[in-house]
Chain A
Amino acid sequence: MIRVEKVVHRYEPEAPDVLRGISLTIEEGSYTALIGPNGCGKTTLIKHLNGLLRPTAGWVSVDGMKTTDTAKIREIRRRVGMVFQNPDSQIVGMTVEEDVAFGPGNLGLPSAEIRRRVDVCLQMVGMAGLEKRPPHTLSGGEKRLLSLAGVLAMDPLYIALDEPAAYLDHAGKHRVLEHIRRLHREGMAIIHIAHDMRDVAAADRVVVMDRGQLILAGTGEEVFGQEELLTSVGLDVPPGGGPIC
């Protein structure tokens, strides 16, 4: 379980608060959608989940480990995988397989185990056969799937994804979202930042953020029923008032 407790975040001492007292619990195996207008603090929030950022006030814990505990930070980052918005700046390997091997290598696993994880994870995202390809020759969708595979290779319990379907064509988007839904069905906890609410139809909880605060949380039906509130913060409600599968 990830617990976010009254977290306040400010990038510079003089700057305004980006997060203003957020409390949130993420259960193992759950699927949480995080939506909200641009600049509301969604990305800042998920960077707290694995200790990339430390709260200015409040605290975050992952399975009982505080993210401020430097002795536990590697284990926290292993448990909470993070897929950033721009795949180009998170792929670090010179080839597809080298990139997937980066995380397990950081964990100090033996080569044979790294090999096994690379093969399993590339298989999982449907990229087996592309092992030797340099990342810059991949399509946008493949780059997203590669960054997902790189995170899966750490064997996480939770995966936070920052707009994994942005800038993809219909087919690419469908493929990426299908993989996310499958991971969830197999028991992975998903935290999914989305812009288009239709992308998070599979979520069992939708959390709406605005100006650094949680303004609404509930099942998809409950949240999308609040059409007036959603429109007032600049979000489009999917036609029909509910999520479309």
Chain B
Amino acid sequence: MKLGQYLPADTIIHRLDPRVKIASVLTLSLFIFGATPPEIALISLFLIAVIGKTRATLAQVAAAIRPVAPFMALIFLVHLFFTEGEPLLALPALSIRITAEGLVQGTYVTWQFAGLVITGALLTMTTLPSDLVGGIERLLRPFSKVGIPSQEIAVMIAMALRFMPMLLEEYDRIRMAQMARGADFKTGSLALRARALTTLASPLLLAAFRRADELVLAMEARGYRRGPRTTLRELRMGEGDFAAFAVMAAFAVVLCGLRMIS
């Protein structure tokens, strides 16, 4: 749940236009996917510099990675044990064989994974969800000519984000109500506990549908209908945003240049 939760602060990164941040995250992600060793070093330094600017503590960054840490460990181990090549360590009795290639490959993939998660988390930690939605909407707007309803998508995302905590509350309430009537979600075999949890699914779904019905009425009552609408905040690029965009573009040029040389 804490994956990259917004951290209120007033830094250069926080103040940036969400569009600049989203574009930067996309660009960085592309570079992370295909990074060569010198690029890895540059991107890592760049990310560390940005983290410094956001004034996020190491603990906060670690907290953003923590939910996906088990997957990262798993990916690392799979590459470590199952890559063919020069054995570094072999224990035939346990049929374990670690290769140098496996170690390199595992480290690389784990770095990629961590890089992507941190890049994404930097965006969500420094951008209010509503600004994020606004940014996505504005970036998608040119595509509305080819039939992508950017404003509807924005309303949908906003609604999903709004109702997430409410559904969690609802889930808790239903679980408590069932526990009060003797349901047991904590003991017994895994299969038994899984079955107990499925009894929560239908009341939760019903509650969600009922809410959706009420919500539609409330939205209509406030004049909502498909099509153009306006918002509280109109995004406007300032000097800082253009500067950040330039920095990001320069960084991309350097990375591309490096690739051409090598």
Contacts and interface: CB of A to CB of B under 8 A. Distances in A.
Nearest to A137: B165
Interface in A122-150: 132, 134-136, 150
A229 interface: no
Interface in A64-123: 74, 77-78, 81-82, 84, 86, 88-95, 97-98, 101-111, 114-115, 118
Interface of A: 47, 50, 52, 74, 77-78, 81-82, 84, 86, 88-95, 97-98, 101-111, 114-115, 118, 132, 134-136, 150-151, 154
Contacts, number: 96
B162 A135 contact: yes
Given A84-B221, A91-B162, 6 more contacts: A90-B218, A106-B225, A108-B229, A108-B230, A111-B234, A135-B162
Chain B contact surface mostly: helix
Given A92-B158, A134-B165, A103 B230 contact: no
B147 interface: no
B95 interface: no
A132 B130 CA distance: 10
11 contacts: A86-B214, A90-B218, A94-B162, A103-B223, A104-B230, A105-B231, A106-B224, A106-B229, A107-B223, A115-B232, A136-B165
A99 B228 CA distance: 17
Given A89-B214, A94-B162, A74 B225 contact: yes
Given A84-B217, A136-B165, A111 B230 contact: yes
A103 B166 CA distance: 21
B222 A77 contact: yes
Interface residues of B, number: 30
B223 A90 contact: no
Interface in B193-241: 211, 214-215, 217-225, 228-234
Contacts of A78: 223
Q: Which 6 interchain pairs have the tightest Cβ spacing?
A: A90-B218, A89-B214, A101-B232, A106-B223, A103-B222, A82-B221
B159 interface: yes
A136 B166 contact: yes
A94 B214 contact: no
Contact of A92 (B128, B219, B228, B229): B219
